[in-house]
Amino acid sequence: MKIAVTGATGQLGTLVVEALKKRVPTENIVALVRTPAKASALGVEVRTFDYNHPAVMTEALAGIDRLVLISGNEIGQRANQHFNVVEAAGKAGVKWIVYTSLLHADSSTLNLANEHMTTEEAIKASGIDFTILRNGWYTENYTGSIGGALAGGAFIGSAGNGKISSAARADYAEAAAVVVTDVIHKGKVYELAGDSYYTLADLATEISNQTGKNIPYKNLTESEYTRILESFEIPGDLAAAIAS
């Protein structure tokens, strides 16, 4: 049984590989990456894999039984890229795809939802066995901004009093490893998130408590927040997605 992981040198992919190594022999794990030289530390078989080159992907998926398809990071291009992966998987004889989607993708108002739903539909239409992991927000998406909040004197966002049930990437990686190693999860769609919720105002209060500095939460409109993120040299599509 060969299990392959796309984006295996990414922030989530690396953790999925490590979680799998605790469950199956390393010789059963294949890291699919755009730049193989960056994957040497993973300690598993590495194959070149590029979402934009279907022929390369078909070759890389030869002999793969189960595929953990971690969604790409090129917003606006992902639906086509993911379709390429699904098509290549079909040609290569992959038997099962586990895809990292978005929490409540079928009803979410986030602008990221459409690409995920398009991908889910393509996977289901392929005839390949599937499991959909609808991942909630990563806690690291917020903790990564703490340094900026301390420097700027406020934690900014556009979430109002919205309740956020985030979880650490390691938790989502663990879920992927648990699912892809047990066939009882085939055909399932899982909504994954943290066990409890907080608002960004709650997060700002906790940052204040932990640092001894007064860090309030400053709520912005979606367009204001997008513009500020762009001023930090975050690409426009990604800035809009974060604000959304």
State whether CATH 3.40.50.720 applies to domain 3-138+166-192: yes
User: How would residue 20 be classed by pLDDT, with cut points 50, 70 and 90?
Assistant: very high
Domains of the chain, by residue range, sit at: 3-138+166-192
The C-alpha atoms of residue 31 and residue 39 are separated, in whole angstroms, by 8
Does the pLDDT value for residue 74 go beyond 90? no
Bridge partners, residue 189, by sequence: 132
Per the structure block, which two tokens stand in for 20? 């799998």
Lowest average pLDDT, out of 42-46, 107-111, 213-217, goes to 107-111
What pLDDT is stored for residue 142 in this prediction? 92
Does the pLDDT value for residue 73 go beyond 90? no
What pLDDT is stored for residue 168 in this prediction? 98
**Chain-wide mean pLDDT for the chain?**
95
77 vs 88, more confident: 88
How is 23-64 classified by DSSP, letter by letter?
TS-GGGEEEEES-GGGGGGG-SEEEE--TT-HHHHHHHTTT-
The C-alpha atoms of residue 29 and residue 17 are separated, in whole angstroms, by 8
* For range 85-105, the mean pLDDT: 97
Does the pLDDT value for residue 195 go beyond 90? yes
What pLDDT is stored for residue 208 in this prediction? 98
Does the pLDDT value for residue 163 go beyond 90? yes
Identity at 205, one-letter amino acid code? T
- Helix or strand (DSSP H, E) at 48: strand 45-48
What pLDDT is stored for residue 48 in this prediction? 96
Does the pLDDT value for residue 241 go beyond 90? no
What pLDDT is stored for residue 131 in this prediction? 98
What pLDDT is stored for residue 75 in this prediction? 85
Q: What's 72's DSSP letter?
A: P
Asked whether the whole model's pTM tops 0.85, one would answer yes
What pLDDT is stored for residue 62 in this prediction? 97
